[in-house]
Structure 1
Amino acid sequence: MPRDEAALARDAGAASQPKPSLLILVAVSAIGPLALNLFVPSMPGLQADFGIPYATAQLTLTLYLIGLATAQLVYGPLSDRFGRRPMLIAGLWLFVAGSLAAAAAPSIELLIAARLAQALGGAAGIVLARAIVRDLYGRDKAASMIGYITMAWVLAPMVAPSVGGLLDQAFDWRAGFWLLAGAGVGVVLACHAYLHETHHARSLGGGGRGLIEGYGWLLRRPRFNAYALTTGFTSSVFFSFLAGAPYVMVEVLGRSPVEYGLWFILSGLGYMSGNGLAGRFSERLGVERMVALGTVVAFLGAAAALGLFLAGALAPWALFTPMMLVALGNGLAIPNGIAGAVSVNPRLAGTAAGLAGFLQLGLGAATSQSVGFLQGFEPYAVVYVMTLGALIAVVVHQVAFRIWPEPSTGSDDAAVER
């Protein structure tokens, strides 16, 4: 769709505004993953508290992922049309409401519903932080910035399982939700005060039809699908781990939620390191090479975990040390895959971020629930599912980018008409 004069004028005015604080972008993108990881160590206790099967308790994780995935389909295109800031603030207030409802939930059904509302709100920060970065930077620079932002905010999800385990041990599983509600209020008030609008060329038009057409345009672009699917299957390895590791640690190996949280720090360090390397080298090496390297590293880590368990090494280190390598690979691949996806058409950055995020978290939800189901038959199902997801990511990337090689310009930043 051609850009009209009003959109060009708005862009010119936007160029003179200061860029949003990096701290704000870190905070808004961290709040959803923080809520995901803080609660994970409490799932076995939740199962005992409500007297429910583990597969039912698993729904508090799976439906959270589904909520995060689905909501991104809404926030992304609406932010292309109405702006990033109003959609972000609305989502964050919904996150606060969902956190308060979860803290007070008297039944598993209401807790699951509250977790879904929490996810629908938290999704705003994930998708819109990515879109804001793409508003401000070109493709390879955006990959570097997403890497740096993720490296910073991953500290919160990294320590979240330890904090969640301590809160669960000192109080109960509800304490974490009170903490999340307070954190959400702080973040949304900061956005009210310090986050200005970054997307000013809102000339898509067409109402709901225009939003659907944006998705159709992206889904007809093979390179978008290649970026999104590679990122999705790479992420599925991590979500499989989130679903299965607490069960293995607490129920199979007889360790405490606190110990799970402490071991989990290894994967956080790996992910932080990978994103730091992405921030440093993405501009120099380019998106394609970084995605290729990340997918291979993640596969090697998952395969190492599978090999150790098949060899009889049934101990926390045999699960968490290879997971550190998986997380390193994820940190290399995911920021670059997302930056590639949102750069296929920069004017549809929000729509692309939402659709790519939906595929990423949708695959995560499917694999996490698969792990929860399979654990009833095979206690170490998590390592099998992790390895399969990592292998698919490698194959998708290698095949897709041989069929649809890098454009001759080396960038997707050129203007694209819809």
Structure 2
Amino acid sequence: MSPRDLPDSLLAPPDAAAAPAARPKPSIVLLVAMTGLGPFTMQILIPSLPMLAVALAVPYATIQLTLTLYLVGVALAQLVYGPLSDRYGRKPLLLAGLCIYLVGSVGAALAPSATWLIVARVLQAVGSCAGLVLGRAMIRDSYPRERAAAVLGYVSTAMAVAPMLSPIIGSLLHEHFGWRATMLSCLVFGLPLLVAVRAKLPETLVQPAPLPGLGGLLGAYRTLLRIPVFRAYCGITACATSMFFSFAAGGPVVVVQGLGHAPTSYAIAMMLVSVGWSSGTFTAARLVGRLGTGRMLRIGSGVTVAAGALALALPLLAPPSLLGFFIPMALVAIGNGMTQPSAVGRRRSACGRCWRARPPG
């Protein structure tokens, strides 16, 4: 497997020609809703996790699998949505994903056991991942480079706002109607989205590409992983992501059972983390042109490491408190927000060099 064999869904050239004006333009509102569906669904159940463990009579470690395996579902699904959509089109794959999502939402709302709930959450993850992957592909299909950057900005805002609001919505629904209402809210959000996508969203893929086959697909990813700088910048993202989701998985039990706060307090305090992330990405956007991506990566990583050290030291220096628990993580989010845009950009540059190594045709 050589760079010339990589499917275009894996290696999109960063300096590709502008998309033709005649291509159909998907609704930006629908793109934002599709992209925000996954983060919204992932976060909405987190404040309820301690009470879920009691309600379903399982250890907290078991109920944490509703988050862990959700992430596994997203990670695996995004590996196949791109190549399949290059062959069969964006819209059919998106409709299929939304149907899977709705089945998972119904299953989660009716779950009689933790095992049932975990399986339903994986279905939600696989289904919602379609919007995350194919929304970006549709933007690439439909807009010239300059306009695509602006549309991606709206999409990024949705990815920041959705996890900020969904824990609050989830905690309020749980307190007033029980945890099953949080899963029904996913159905209420997903069903109109399915109808809107079916009726209003155009197909943006102009020229279908042949499927690479399982061997070709695995070989393509193997080629990517042989690029040292690609692995390095993937590692930066992996470390940042693991810090956040370790915090998200353990945070509710610390806040609700350890500190004695209501789930709504956790959800409101979690906004500090979302604001930290948004502040970091805004800072990166303002400074990266002057400092460069390499220096921005070093500064952001330094902030993240210092915040992690503060998280370890603070419990030894002060009594446990809600702010003492969340402020270090908000600082971690600032550092991550500063590093991730540059890490993504450098990954794309590494892929672009590999893409340009392929001969024309």
The answer, yes or no, to whether TM exceeds 0.5 is yes
The letter for the 1-side match of 2:187 is A
- Corresponding residue number in structure 2 for 1:187: 193
- Corresponding residue number in structure 1 for 2:233: 227
Of residues 56, 65, 84 in structure 2, which corresponds to 1:59?
65
- Corresponding residue number in structure 2 for 1:330: 336
- Corresponding residue number in structure 2 for 1:257: 263
Of residues 50, 55, 60 in structure 2, which corresponds to 1:49?
55
Of residues 314, 323, 330 in structure 2, which corresponds to 1:317?
323
The aligned runs of 1:75-94 (5 Å cut-off) are 75-94=81-100
Q: Taking structure 1 as reference, are residues 124 and 416 closer, same or farther at Cα in structure 2, changes over 3 Å only?
A: farther
The letter for the 2-side match of 1:415 is R
- Corresponding residue number in structure 2 for 1:125: 131
Report if aligned partners of 2:108, 2:116 keep a CA contact under 8 Å in 1. yes
Larger mean Cα displacement after TM superposition, 13-22 or 31-40:
13-22
The aligned runs of 1:261-280 (5 Å cut-off) are 261-280=267-286
Larger mean Cα displacement after TM superposition, 309-318 or 42-51:
309-318
Q: Taking structure 1 as reference, are residues 213 and 310 closer, same or farther at Cα in structure 2, changes over 3 Å only?
A: same
Deviation at 1:340, TM superposition (A): 3.5
Deviation at 1:95, TM superposition (A): 1.0
- Corresponding residue number in structure 2 for 1:367: none
Q: Distance in 2 between matches of 1:335 and 1:96?
A: 32
Larger mean Cα displacement after TM superposition, 121-130 or 263-272:
121-130
Q: Percent identity?
A: 42
Q: Distance in 2 between matches of 1:208 and 1:15?
A: 34
Of residues 181, 184, 205 in structure 2, which corresponds to 1:178?
184
Larger mean Cα displacement after TM superposition, 236-245 or 321-330:
321-330
Q: Deviations over 1:78-101 (max 9, x none)?
A: 234434333223212211110111
How many residue pairs align between the two structures? 345
Deviation at 1:325, TM superposition (A): 1.5
The aligned runs of 1:14-413 (5 Å cut-off) are 14-17=20-23, 19-133=25-139, 136=143, 146=152, 148-200=154-206, 202-203=208-209, 205-280=211-286, 286-345=292-351, 412=353
Q: Deviations over 1:128-152 (max 9, x none)?
A: 33444555566x9977765552233
Report if aligned partners of 1:14, 1:200 keep a CA contact under 8 Å in 2. no
Q: Distance in 2 between matches of 1:309 and 1:204?
A: 56
The letter for the 1-side match of 2:278 is M
- Corresponding residue number in structure 2 for 1:360: none
Report if aligned partners of 1:91, 1:122 keep a CA contact under 8 Å in 2. yes
Deviation at 1:225, TM superposition (A): 1.4
Q: Taking structure 1 as reference, are residues 280 and 130 closer, same or farther at Cα in structure 2, changes over 3 Å only?
A: farther
Classify the secondary structure of the residue corresponding to 1:155.
helix
Classify the secondary structure of the residue corresponding to 2:45.
helix
Q: Distance in 2 between matches of 1:335 and 1:141?
A: 18
Report if aligned partners of 1:143, 1:339 keep a CA contact under 8 Å in 2. no
Deviation at 1:202, TM superposition (A): 4.5
Q: Distance in 2 between matches of 1:223 and 1:144?
A: 27
The letter for the 1-side match of 2:279 is S
Q: Taking structure 1 as reference, are residues 133 and 291 closer, same or farther at Cα in structure 2, changes over 3 Å only?
A: farther
Deviation at 1:163, TM superposition (A): 1.3
Q: Taking structure 1 as reference, are residues 179 and 284 closer, same or farther at Cα in structure 2, changes over 3 Å only?
A: farther
Deviation at 1:174, TM superposition (A): 0.4
Q: Deviations over 1:367-396 (max 9, x none)?
A: xxxxxxxxxxxxxxxxxxxxxxxxxxxxxx
Q: Distance in 2 between matches of 1:284 and 1:178?
A: 47
Q: Taking structure 1 as reference, are residues 221 and 272 closer, same or farther at Cα in structure 2, changes over 3 Å only?
A: same
The letter for the 2-side match of 1:260 is Y
Q: Taking structure 1 as reference, are residues 299 and 256 closer, same or farther at Cα in structure 2, changes over 3 Å only?
A: same
Larger mean Cα displacement after TM superposition, 123-132 or 101-110:
123-132
The answer to whether the aligner puts 1:417 opposite 2:358 as a matched pair is yes
Classify the secondary structure of the residue corresponding to 1:174.
helix
Report if aligned partners of 2:91, 2:202 keep a CA contact under 8 Å in 1. yes
Q: Distance in 2 between matches of 1:207 and 1:306?
A: 47
Q: Distance in 2 between matches of 1:213 and 1:319?
A: 44
Q: Deviations over 1:286-342 (max 9, x none)?
A: 544443333322222222222211223310111111221111222222233334434
The letter for the 2-side match of 1:152 is A
Q: Distance in 2 between matches of 1:156 and 1:22?
A: 16
Report if aligned partners of 1:235, 1:334 keep a CA contact under 8 Å in 2. no
Classify the secondary structure of the residue corresponding to 2:95.
helix
Report if aligned partners of 1:144, 1:335 keep a CA contact under 8 Å in 2. no
Q: Distance in 1 between matches of 2:165 and 2:350?
A: 35
Q: Distance in 2 between matches of 1:137 and 1:284?
A: 25
Q: Taking structure 1 as reference, are residues 18 and 200 closer, same or farther at Cα in structure 2, changes over 3 Å only?
A: closer
Report if aligned partners of 1:146, 1:279 keep a CA contact under 8 Å in 2. no
Q: Distance in 1 between matches of 2:277 and 2:349?
A: 23
Larger mean Cα displacement after TM superposition, 84-93 or 284-293:
284-293
Deviation at 1:43, TM superposition (A): 0.7
TM-score scaled to structure 1, two decimals? 0.74
